[in-house]
Chains A and B, each alone.
Chain A
Amino acid sequence: MNFNEPTLDYAGLSPVIALTVGLCVVLLSAVFKPVRRSAPGLTLLVLATAAGLLIWQWGDPKDLVSGALRIDDLSVAISLIAILTAGFCVLLSIREPATEQAGLGEYHALLLGSVLGMVLLAEAQNLVTFFVAIETLSIPLYILCATNLRREGSLESGLKYLIVGSLGSATLLYGMAFLYGGTASTDFAGIATGIAHKGMLDDPLILVGIAMCAVGLAFKTSIAPFHQWTPDVYEGAPTPITSFMAVATKAAAFAVFVRFFDVALGPQVDEWQPALAVLAAVSIVVGNVGALGQDSLKRLLGYSGIAQAGYMLGGIVVASESGVSALVFYLAAYAFMNLAAFAVIIARERETPFGDDIRAMRGLGAERPLLAWPLTISMLALAGLPATAGFIGKLYLIEALVESDYTWLGVFIAIGTMISLGYYLRVVATMWMRPEGGPATTPAIAGASPEADPIDPEAGKRLYLVGPALLAAAATVFFGVIPQPLVEFAERAGSSLF
């Protein structure tokens, strides 16, 4: 038996290498006293390096490590979204109690580890790298969710995510085993050939394998009915980590989702299309209805994320170039919309005694316009109103759906959006309009959790919170008015699979 040493393309692997080295450096920085406080700066530097290397590789698609990974415009685009989100997360984590309790170096090293997993996941085109990457992504997040050691909710969130996430991973792994048994290949292209040989519906091994893989991926992207963990975990985790999970995890998981279905299962599109379309529709309804009446903004965004995942799944359902482009566009828009909202939530969480409760936003329009504007823009964009990237994203998705004769799913998106107005506009109304009850007062049971006392009464004026919020909101409006650059970015990414 011959063993061919794989040729390593170091240029293609350079972003991964940069992140790995950076992870070690950041971790070690915690040991040496003079540089102990420099972890956030180092992390930003590592992320910037990785982003630079990725941009260098833009437009140069190639297989890496004997085809286990593939760097193309889709993986670069998704990796850039993940890195951007991580960068925001580092800024939002400044003076976050969780970073002190977990240790500054450890916290940021874990964050980089998760980003590394995401970059790998976006590039994976082999069942083994797929699984390894998804675990590299998840395990640091399990820990990060629980880093707010003094808060029961945070520990609960970490444990819950660990158990549910492991269940998802186990299902995925089991499915992969079946799939390998059915097709005798771990490679996405090899699987496609294997299935073409046997037929997807005729071989129970393959069918069960695909179904279990889909379920595992649905767990990771929080698509109903596999979403139950999402609101709880989002609520309990430290808020910067929630924002990172909400955006970056979703982006990376969708990247492999679309690659797996469009490459490995591409020829059998007619057979899995209806099933995914139904999942998308269920997700849209469950997410939007669940978000109504939520008082905790993190839970609200959790449910809204489920609904948005349903919209984005539409981009996979159609299995076309415009579908993938629409998905990438929406993921980028989704990143900006959510990051603006989370930055404001974090600022209010630190300066009011209400935590992430919607009461924290009362009268924000008059009191702190610089925080109220980003949150308003974010909510209107998530609701898909015009002159925001959210509107163009929905337009893009619906266009892709109608093109592939999935108009009914487009109508579902429209209906979901109507329901979503009920909760997005409630947040806007709380900020700008007269409250239903009297003015905001301290809650009756103050100090119910350690976070109840404001950490930083001036948080709403800190540049590292207001800056990211304004930046993300400005990007949301900019790409709503001049979407062409982002559309071209998404088109490049979309064309790499077809």
Chain B
Amino acid sequence: MINALLWAPLAFGIVGLFLPKRASGWWATLGALVTLVIAVGMVFDFDTGSSGLQHSVDVAWISGLGVDYSLGIDGLNLFLIVLTAVLWVGGTAFAAFREWERPQLFFFLMLLAETATLGSFLAQDLLLFVLFFDLMLVPFYFLFGAWGSDREGGPSAAAATLKMMIYTLIGSLLMLVGAIAAAIISADGGHLTFSIAAIQQQGLDVDSQRWIFWFFAAAFLVKMPAFLLHGWMPDAYRAAPLPVLVVFSGVLAKVGAYGFLRIVLPLFPDATIEFQEVILVIALASILYGSVMAFTQTNVRLIAGYSSVAQLGFITAGVFALRADGADGAILQMVNHGLVVAPIFVIVAILVERTGTEDIREMGGMALRAPVLAVLFLVVALATLAMPGSANFIGEFYILNGLFQEKIVFACIAISGVAMSAYYALRLYQHAMHNRKPDGIATREIGLRDAVVLAPLVLCILALALYPQLILHRTAPTVQQTVAGVTNGDAPEAELASGPTGRNQAYISRNRPIDP
């Protein structure tokens, strides 16, 4: 089952290479759909109360080097896998409606990317994780570089993606060294294994934890991207083809945040506590910088891109609150953000096709003729700014709640990010949809083929807003265990993790019933 989930996309991709041009897009969409069905099956099959791994597979892969082919699902990755499967269906279908050069190769790379992404979420072996983490980059390198657009006066698509590759691989190559060092130091002359659980059990001494922590953090922070390490993002986002950006921005950044929860917290607990504030400062800087950039940029792609920087800052802060509620919120918010940013890029693609520009100053007046598109966009925009009633609100609330109880100063600053997100989300919406319509842009209503892609994504947002416990219930046990591992189990019992109680319950239920 879990093998089918991981390899289905790639299998469909390889077959697709030999299909006629016109069929390849639909074949790829079918592949993504099959994967989604398997992933949803996993949710129904999931044992909610358990914190351990389920559906796990563990066989020796390279026995001489101690590497195992080891996969598993638990509360940390379950919904990230579903998110991946959902967004890939959206992205692939959206791309299938459009014309591409060499489509067989394009869709093969899309599906290869899905397998690599699922692999990095599923891997329970440190080296397998590093392998999939690096592998993710290869298809996107080709997708951005070969099908992307060159920018007037800026770097070509090839140059922009080269920059992205070098930035992200700097982190992940160091991570490879760190992973090997972690395994060897923890084995201490004994049987060498890269199994995350085994390394966690053996433990690492504090000195080793310190430097290995940063090797991993570098990889994850670049991937997100976090402030100061985001240099690749603007050029790559401007060069990338939009359907690819739907999955890229929606899922790949989350792998970084997920890596902190899956690897850094369990394996390097002492270093995590030691560097908690450093990472929190980086997270806050990302929130502030990302928000400010998002409401000063005029290119729609960059507004969405920088808003992601800010959102990932929130998620990192949630993880490094080192409380169960913060981490719960972080996972919920990872899913939320994926579900929000993907439709934004779909809408951006639609807007760019209608207006022929990516500059929001040259857009406007769309809502009058295209009310359905406007409504869908409004839902997404309100979810982005974490409107009470949206799942994003719950996510941010959990994160801030965790942060407040742990580091109140950081929480106070982080709150400003919530306010700023309202500004940039509404600014994007208003400029595109309201105001006076400039000459020469078409204000057609959303077409059926785009609606087929966009509407299900928006429905996911609405569904999650009504029932966020779908995720929270299933993530809580694993998250609690992960966080307790860092704080040696003396973390205050997180009352939010097992359902809102007391004052929080009252606060939330005033807005909306959470647990019907």
Contacts and interface: CB of A to CB of B under 8 A. Distances in A.
A422 B162 contact: yes
A425 B162 contact: yes
Nearest to B162: A425
Interface stretch (B58-66, B243-251, B314-322, B331-339): B58-66
B162 A410 contact: no
Given A386-B134, A387-B131, A414-B177, 14 more contacts: A385-B138, A386-B138, A391-B134, A395-B180, A402-B181, A410-B177, A413-B177, A414-B174, A434-B157, A436-B156, A436-B158, A484-B61, A484-B64, A487-B63
Interface in A350-393: 365-366, 380, 384-387, 391-392
B199 interface: no
27 contacts: A384-B173, A385-B138, A386-B131, A386-B135, A387-B135, A391-B131, A392-B62, A394-B176, A395-B180, A398-B177, A398-B180, A402-B184, A410-B180, A410-B181, A411-B174, A414-B176, A414-B177, A417-B169, A418-B169, A418-B173, A421-B166, A434-B158, A483-B62, A484-B61, A484-B63, A487-B62, A487-B64
Interface in B134-186: 134-135, 137-138, 141-142, 145-146, 150, 156-158, 161-162, 165-166, 169-170, 173-174, 176-177, 180-181, 184
A36 interface: no
B289 interface: no
Interface string A417-453: 1100110011001001110100000000000000000
Q: What is the interface of chain B mostly: helix, strand, loop, or mixed? A: helix
A387 B113 CA distance: 13
Contacts of B176: 394-395, 398, 414
B55 interface: no
A394 to B, nearest CB: 7
A425 B141 contact: yes
B158 A402 contact: no
A488 interface: yes
B146 A365 contact: yes
B79 interface: no
A38 interface: no
A384 B132 CA distance: 13
B127 interface: yes
A491 B65 CA distance: 10
Interface of A: 325, 365-366, 380, 384-387, 391-392, 394-396, 398-399, 402-403, 407, 410-411, 413-415, 417-418, 421-422, 425-426, 429, 432-434, 436, 483-484, 487-488, 491
Given A386-B135, A429-B145, A434 B177 contact: no
Contacts of B170: 418
Contacts of A407: 177, 181
Nearest to A422: B166
Contacts of A484: 61-64
A432 B146 contact: yes
A364 to B, nearest CB: 12
Nearest to A407: B181
A429 B162 contact: yes
Contact of A403 (B134, B145, B146, B184): B184
A321 to B, nearest CB: 11
B184 to A, nearest CB: 5
B102 interface: yes
A241 B443 CA distance: 64
Nearest to B132: A386
B65 A418 contact: no
Nearest to B181: A402
B177 A432 contact: no
Contacts of A366: 102
Interface string B101-137: 0100000000000000000000000010011101101
Contacts of A399: 65, 180, 184, 192
Interface in B251-302: none
A402 B177 CA distance: 8
A392 B130 CA distance: 12
Q: Which 8 A-B pairs have the closest CB atoms?
A: A414-B173, A433-B158, A429-B158, A386-B131, A386-B135, A487-B64, A433-B145, A386-B134
Contact of B165 (A392, A413, A421, A436): A421
Contacts of A414: 173-174, 176-177
A433 B157 contact: yes
Contacts, number: 100
A395 B183 CA distance: 12
Contact of B146 (A394, A413, A433, A483): A433
| A387, A391, A414 pick with most chain B CB within 10 angstroms | A414
A407 B207 CA distance: 14
Nearest to A436: B156
A255 B96 CA distance: 53
A411 B215 CA distance: 10
Interface centre among B132, B145, B150, B176 (most CB of A within 10 A): B176
Contacts of B141: 425
Contacts of B177: 398, 402, 407, 410-411, 413-414
B107 to A, nearest CB: 16
A102 B135 CA distance: 46
A402 B188 CA distance: 12
A395 B173 contact: no
Contact of B173 (A417, A426, A483): A417
A438 to B, nearest CB: 13
A414 B161 CA distance: 20
Given A366-B102, A411-B174, A432-B145, A425 B132 contact: no
A250 to B, nearest CB: 23
Contacts of B146: 365, 432-434
B69 to A, nearest CB: 11
A385 B135 contact: yes
A411 B135 CA distance: 20
Contacts of B142: 432
B166 A418 contact: yes
A421 B172 CA distance: 13
Nearest to A415: B173
Contacts of B61: 484
Contacts of A387: 131, 135, 138
A403 B65 CA distance: 12
A190 to B, nearest CB: 33
B202 to A, nearest CB: 15
A434 B149 CA distance: 9
Contacts of B63: 484, 487
A385 B137 CA distance: 9
A380 B162 contact: no
B134 A395 contact: no
A421 B169 contact: yes
Contacts of A487: 62-65
Contact of A434 (B64, B138, B150, B165): B150
A3 to B, nearest CB: 46
B185 to A, nearest CB: 8
B403 to A, nearest CB: 34
Contacts of B162: 421-422, 425-426, 429
Contacts of B64: 325, 484, 487-488, 491
B112 to A, nearest CB: 9
Contacts of A433: 145-146, 156-158
Contacts of B62: 392, 483-484, 487
Nearest to B131: A386
Given A365-B146, A402-B177, A395 B65 contact: yes
A488 B184 CA distance: 20
A175 to B, nearest CB: 34
A426 B165 CA distance: 12
A273 to B, nearest CB: 18
A134 to B, nearest CB: 31
Query: Which of A386, A387, A434 has the most chain B CB within a 10 Å cutoff?
Result: A386
Contacts of A432: 142, 145-146
Nearest to A431: B146
A11 B19 CA distance: 53
Contacts of B173: 384, 414-415, 417-418
